Amino acid sequence: MQKPSYILLCEERIGYDFADRSFIERALTHRSWAHERAQSGRESEVRNLHNEAFEFVGDSILGLIIAELLFERFPNASEGELTLMKHRLVSATTLTEIAESLRLNEMIRLGRGEERTGGRKKAAILADTLEAVFAAVFFDGGYAAARKIVRQLFTEYIENIDPTASLDYKTMLQERLQAEKRSAPVYAVVRTEGPPHRRTFFVEAVWEGGREEGIGTTIKTAEMMAAKAALDKLESAEDE
């Protein structure tokens, strides 16, 4: 059976031919499309038609591959530096940029309602679908195939990233809270673990309306991780 044009287009742009088309078909299917076409309307059957579970797997696969590629390029970088660079590379911003460069919006199967509200241009849908595509490649061809695709798509980003130019989550959190007319966050070391030469710091970020903890091998890294967790929490609350 010949593959649909949207699958052929995806294969051409990512440079991978699927042996089992069902993987990429599901990866490119948004839940809005699945809900509109599910005959029974039962959630368990609808769930098998869209890509949300693939997004979950793709996120993990991507994180592992990026961690490996970063360690390969920066073997002497600290855990904190690697963590911040990884967060930057797997961020929604980077994923959206790559999805846009692939024109992934042309391949996604969307429901009519989502289509009318501009779903093809929504950063969250583009980023999530790209993660689902990574999962599809992994399921179809294994880790080596997924690694090859990720490396190809992220080459320019990895070549240009620098441990000293990682995202400043503390500044981002402060600017966000200021925009919402809330006071700046306060950071405090809540505990430490390990011997003096290999200390692990646990830092808490407290702001008006919440608190989150970060972990790192330096206080600065732990503060940055706490700020990142706070930003994630604020974004999650915004999406609800």
Q: Which of 81, 131, 140, 223 is catalytic?
A: 131
Domain final position from 115, 138, 164: 164
Per-position pLDDT tens, the chain of length 240: 678 888 999 999 999 999 999 999 999 999 888 888 775 455 555 567 889 999 999 999 999 999 999 999 999 887 777 887 887 888 888 899 999 999 999 999 998 888 898 989 888 899 999 999 999 999 999 999 999 999 999 999 998 887 765 567 888 888 889 888 899 999 999 999 888 877 889 999 999 989 999 988 788 888 988 998 998 888 877 655
d(CA 71, CA 78): 10
Is this prediction's pTM over 0.85? no
d(CA 157, CA 100): 15
Phi–psi pair at 11, nearest 5 degrees: -60, -40
Whether residue 239 lies in the annotated active site: no
Q: Which of 25, 55, 59, 140 is catalytic?
A: 59
- The enclosing domain of 85 has a CATH number of 1.10.1520.10
Say if residue 132 is in the same domain as residue 195. no
Structure token pair of residue 44: 């368990």
Q: How many domains does the chain have?
A: 2
Domain final position from 130, 149, 164: 164
Whether residue 131 lies in the annotated active site: yes
d(CA 7, CA 106): 10
